[in-house]
Amino acid sequence: MTKISPKIALHDKVFEVYLEESQIEKRIADMADQISKDYEGKRPLFLSILNGSFMFAASLLKKLQIDSEISFVKVASYQGTETTGDHTELIGLNEDISNRHILILEDIVDTGLTIQSLKRMLTDQNPASLEVTTLFSKPEALQVDLMLKYVGFEIPKYFVVGFGMDYNGLGRNLSSVYKISD
């Protein structure tokens, strides 16, 4: 296991350890057990949202005990100029998801707007089921009514990095999760 520095600097900010790799891996193992039970015989298709969820996806899939598939997609958002709000586009989905059991894999749900628009786009393609698996969620930041089926850790409104998550491009490679120091 990599040695953990208690504090690190990324760009202009200092971060401190929030969750160690072993705690994160243990929680992901529990999530994998639960998903393996719930999706036995259903051959789920995981849609891993890039970039942030790559490390969570790798860890979770190694721990699953059932047949499954994975595809990596990107959600691009454009700031809307009209009052109708933001526009979101889904990039990289080549699979036919109709009648498939779909599990979205996300690193962290903040306002929930990304997942909400993604769910709308995917629902249009008639999956057999559509659920969300996220490593982190910030319930206090949630702005929409969203059902998250599998949540690794519910956290306060901290800005966090590591285990796939970044601060302006840095920090994704960290194997522990760090929160901003104040």
Q: Which stretch binds ligand IMP (CB under 6 A): 79-87, 90-98, 109-117, 125-133?
A: 109-117
Contact partner, 109, from ligand IMP, Mg ion, none, Cβ < 5-8 Å per class: ligand IMP
As a 3-state breakdown, the chain gives helix, strand, coil percent values, each rounded to 5, of 25, 35, 40
Determine how many CB atoms are found less than 10 A away from the CB of residue 68.
18
Contact 48, 105 (CB under 8 A): yes
Q: Report residue 141 as tokens.
A: 């930041």
Least distance in angstroms from the C-beta of 114 to ligand IMP? 3
Contact 72, 50 (CB under 8 A): yes
Contact partner, 112, from ligand IMP, Mg ion, none, Cβ < 5-8 Å per class: ligand IMP
For the question of residue 110 being annotated catalytic, the response is: yes
Q: Which of 112, 127, 152, 162 binds ligand IMP (CB under 6 A)?
A: 112
Contact 50, 73 (CB under 8 A): yes
Residues 7-66 that bind ligand IMP (CB under 6 A): 52
Q: Which of 35, 60, 109, 130 binds ligand IMP (CB under 6 A)?
A: 109
The DSSP-derived string for 28-81 is: HHHHHHHHHHHTTTS--EEEEEETTTHHHHHHHHHH--S--EEEEEEEEEE--S
Residues 140-179 that bind ligand IMP (CB under 6 A): 159-161, 165
Contact partner, 72, from ligand IMP, Mg ion, none, Cβ < 5-8 Å per class: none
Does residue number 52 form part of the binding site for Mg ion (CB under 5 A)?
yes
Residues that bind Mg ion (CB under 5 A): 52
Residues that bind ligand IMP (CB under 6 A): 52, 106-114, 159-161, 165
